[in-house]
Structure 1
Amino acid sequence: MKQTWRWFGPADEISMPEIRMTGAEGIVTALHHIATGDVWSVAEIQKRQAEIRQPQGAGAPLQWDVVESLVVSEAIKSQTGNYREHYETYRQSLRNLAQCGLSTVCYNFMPVLDWTRTDLTSPLDNGGTAMRFDLIDFAAFDVFILNRAGAGEDYSAAFIDQVRARFDTMSDATKGALTQNIVAGLPGANENWTLDALTAHLDIYSQTSRDRLRSNLVDFLSEVVPTAQELGIRLCCHPDDPPFPLLGMPRVMSSEDDYRYVMQAVDSPANGVTLCTGSMGVAPDFDAVRFVETFGDRIHFVHLRNTKRHAPADGARSSFHESEHLDGDSDLVGAVHALLREEAKRRAAGRADHVIPMRPDHGHSLVSDLARPMMPGYPLVGRMQGLAELRGIMAGYAPRL
Structure 2
Amino acid sequence: MKASLIEQEEMRLALLRGYNILDTAPEDGFEEITKLAAEICDVPISLISLVDEDRQWFKAKVGIEIPGSTIENSICAHAISGDDYLEIGDTSKDARTDTNEFVTGDDSIRFYAGALLEDGNNLPLGTLCVLDKKPRELNDFQRRALQTLANQAMRQIELRKALADAEILRKEVDHRVKNSLQSLEALIRLQVRSEKSAEARAALDAVQGRLATISRLHEALYLTDTGASVNISPFITKVVQSAQEQMPHGVTVNSKLENCNLTSRSASSVGMIVNEAMANASKYAYQDRRRGTFSVTGKHEGGFYHLSCIDDGPGLPDGYSNDTGLGMRILMAAAQQLGGEMTSPARDIGTEIKVVWQVEP
TM category (shorter chain) comes to under 0.3
Asked which structure has the greater CA Rg, the reply is: 2
| TM-score calculated relative to the size of structure 2 | 0.25
TM-score in terms of structure 1 length: 0.24
Give 1 or 2: higher strand fraction: 2
Q: Higher relative CO (CA 8 A, sep ≥ 6), structure 1 or 2?
A: 1
